[in-house]
Amino acid sequence: MAAKRKILLMLLVSSTILFSLLVFSDQLHVSSIIEQVKVYKEKPCSCEKCLSEDRMFQVHHVNHFVKPFLTAKSELSEEDYAWWKNIQRERGDYSTYKATVKELFEIFPAEPDYEKPSPNQCRTCSVVGNSVNLLKSHYGPLIDSQDIVIRINYGKVKGYEEDVGSKTTHRVMYPESSSRLDNTTHLVLFAFKIKDLQWLKKAFLTGFFGRSYASVKSTVKANKDLVMVVNPALMKHAHVVWLKKKGDYPSTGFMTLILALHMCDEVHVFGFGADSDGNWSHYFEVLKNKKFKTGNHPGQHEFTVIEKLANQKTIKFYRGY
C-alpha cells in the first residue's frame, strides 16, 4: 500500500512539473510574440527595410544631423554660411542672408510640404539623374511606380517616357536651370548664393531682372505652396561628410540623392554615371565634346559613393545601358 502511495505521489509531482513547464513555455511563447509585435510597431516605417535603420546612413547621419530644408525657424550657423558663400564667391554678409531668408518665409510655407516618417507608411522615391545611360533602359514604369519622383534641372520627360517615366512630384532647380512647373509639382530650390534666394522671391512677385553667369528667367510658373528651399547646411553635409571634401562642391544630382535619403524610407536611383566609353553626357542631348568631364564636381568620386551605397543595399541603383 505504501509503495502504491509513493508511485501515485511521484506521478502527481511529475504531472505538476510537466504542467508548469508547459504553462511557462506558453508564457515564453506569448512574451516572444508580444516583443515581436512591439518591435514591429516601433519600426520607423512599414518598408521591409527602413532607410533610417541602415548602418551606412546612420554613420553619416546620426553624428552629423542636419535638417534637409530651410524653415521659418531654422538657423544656419556662421560656419556653414562661410562654406556656402564660397561656392560662387558670394559677397553678401551673414546678416543679409538671414534677412533674405526671413523675407522668403513671408511668401512661402513656413514648413516644407513632405511626408514625415511613419510606422504605417513606406515612402519610396525615384531620384532620376540625367545620364545618357537611361536611353533604351525601359525604366519608365519602375520610376513612375514610386511615391515620390524627383527630377533634376533640365531632365526632359516628353519623348523619353519609356525610359524615364512621365511622373514628376519634385523638380530640383536653381535660377539658371529653372523651368515651368504644373500646379502639383514641388519646386525644390538649391540656392548657391543670396541672389538665388532673391530670385525665388521676385520670380513669384515682381519679376527678377538681375544678372548671373548665365541667362535667368524673370518669372517662374509653379505652385508657391509647394516651394521647398534646400538647407545650405545639407549641401555642406554632402560635401564634407559624404564626399570628404573632394572637388569644389557636389553636383546638384549628388546633393539631390543625399536629400532623398532624408525624405524617403526607400530610395531608387536612376541615370547617374558616365557612359561605357567614360563620357559624361545627358540622355536628351547629343554629345559634342567628348573631353568634357564634370567641371568643379568630383563626378567619378560621387559615382563611387553611389556604388558603395548600392553594394551595401542602402539604395537600389539602376545603372542603365
| Domain extents in the chain | 51-318
- Predicted pLDDT of residue 6: 54
In 3D, which of 45, 101, 4 has the Cα closest to residue 265?
45
- Report the DSSP beta bridge partners of residue 317: 269
CA dihedral (57, 265, 254, 217) positive or negative = negative
Task: Tell me which CATH code domain 51-318 carries.
Answer: 3.90.1480.20
Q: In which residue ranges of the chain is pLDDT below 70?
A: 1-42, 61-64, 289-295
Q: Choose, from 139, 174, 249, 283, the residue flagged as catalytic.
A: 249
Is 170 in the active site?
Answer: no
Instruction: Write down the pLDDT at residue 264.
Output: 93
- Annotated binding-site members for substrate: 89, 130, 153, 213, 249, 253, 273, 282, 297
User: From the annotation, which residues make up the binding site?
Assistant: 89, 130, 153, 213, 249, 253, 273, 282, 297
pLDDT at position 211, please?
80
Contact 162, 303 (CB under 8 A): no
pLDDT digits (tens, 9 = 90+) for 267-284: 999 999 988 878 888 999
The pLDDT of residue 214 is: 79
Catalytic residue among 61, 174, 297, 318: 297
Q: What is residue 24's predicted lDDT score, i.e. its pLDDT?
A: 44
pLDDT of residue 21: 44
Verify whether residue 154 is a known catalytic residue: no
For the chain, what is the radius of gyration of the CA atoms? 27
What's residue 8's pLDDT?
53
Distance from C-alpha of 119 to C-alpha of 153, rounded to nearest angstrom: 33
